[in-house]
Amino acid sequence: MKILTVLTYYRPHTSGLTIYAERLARAFVQRGHQVTVMTTQYDPSLPREEMMDGVKVIRVPVAARVSKGVLAPTFGFVATKLVAQHDVVQLHLPQFDAPGVAFRARLFGKPVVLTYHCDLFLTRTWFNRLVNFVVDFQNNMAGRLANHIVTYTQDYADNSPYLSRYASKLTPILPPVELPVPTPLAVSAFADAHRTKERRPVIGMAARLAAEKGVEVLLDALPIILKKYPNAQVLFAGTYQNVMGEQAYSDRLMPRIREFEVQGHWTFLGNLDPIQMAAFYPNLDVLTVPSLNSTEAFGLVQIEAMLNGVPSVPSALPGVRRPVQMHGMGRVSKIGDSASLAESILSVLDDADQHRGDIDAIKKSYDPDSVAQEYEKLFQRLMKR
């Protein structure tokens, strides 16, 4: 099967969406399919075309940036050529160009499957309201043109204004999650580098420093946690400098974060590759995902942590709460409530044995090969129609 995957950002850009797309594309290749990823050349230094783990990546030049998105005038031209060459088109939303690609697939008689990752929720300025309106319009056009839509969980679908419109052509498929198996030496070296043996408990957060991630909720909860565990520290894995569209948010939080850094209670780790992430998780006592709005639909990092025996404390957002509810590893806190977050983290830290799960079963559920098989069944069913 020739699969065309289309999304705005692909690797080396780091986000839950790009990681999902990369894992799924690799799994398709390993199952014998021919996969092309069409994306944007968001960084001019990236090659226009390359092979990555057996996946052909084609990047379309960017003319301008709009908020967190980009404008690529030749995207439609390239899409026309690629759609004609493939058997099925998979679009990752939110994506401005999605309806144009979906329309081309319809013209060529190729099935279109949307993977809907999250609702878009930008900070409330007049310009962002306009961006939100345009992206919502484009997503809805893509939804009408698509043959089928995939989302992570029914919980998120039931609470999404977008997905609830398309309940008749919706299938929940759990996301692909994988990590290298860490070596004891790598885990120990990480512990030595970040003093996780002496400064415990260790609270992990793996995200971009972005407004929707709720970093300020953790900042407000930390003093409560420190009263009981004065040696506690936060290890923050992910981009924290020059995050697109988040400079004002960063400027607002950094003075408080720097105070915790000086006291040894907060460490920015920056972007970690998969091998480094594999050493990161075993050094945690708990992971937290205190996200604030529906731009967070699941939190793949929760499953990565659970695969390493680490419980999670997410906010009660639809979809985001499901990993803990399904697998029993952790506790859900109230959205945007620092006292609830602190209480939930302390509860997990105080009774770790109560929050252990069936790691083998979790691994099987999220194995990229298993997820690729679910997509295969869907693609084949649509192609027969």
Residue 244 pLDDT > 80: no
Q: What is the pLDDT of residue 277?
A: 95
Confidence of residue 225 (pLDDT cuts 50, 70, 90): very high
Q: Indicate the domain borders of the chain.
A: 2-176+367-384, 184-364
pLDDT mean over 257-279:
95
Length of the chain: 385
2-176+367-384: what fold?
Rossmann fold (3.40.50)
Q: What CA–CA distance (Å, rounded) separates 378 from 115? A: 12
**Predicted local distance difference test score (pLDDT) of residue 372:** 97
Q: Average pLDDT of 129-145?
A: 81
CA dist., res. 7 & res. 248, Å (int): 27
Q: What is the pLDDT of residues 65-109, one digit of tens each?
A: 766 677 889 999 999 999 999 999 999 998 888 999 999 999 999
Is the pLDDT score of 385 beyond 90?
Answer: no
Check if 2-176+367-384 and 184-364 are the same fold.
Answer: yes
Q: 352, exposed or middle or buried, with CB in 10 Å at 0-12, 13-18, 19+? A: middle
- At position 130, the amino acid (one-letter code) is L
| Structure token digits, residue 206 | 């793996």
Does the structural domain 184-364 have CATH classification 3.10.129.10? Answer: no
pLDDT at 122 over 70: no
| DSSP letter string, 105-146 | HHHTT--EEEEE-------S-HHHHHHHHHHHHHHHHHHHH-
Q: Write out pLDDT tens, residues 163-208.
A: 999 999 999 999 999 989 889 999 999 999 999 988 899 999 999 9
pLDDT at residue 265 tops 90: yes
**In terms of pLDDT, which residue wins out, 267 or 69?**
267
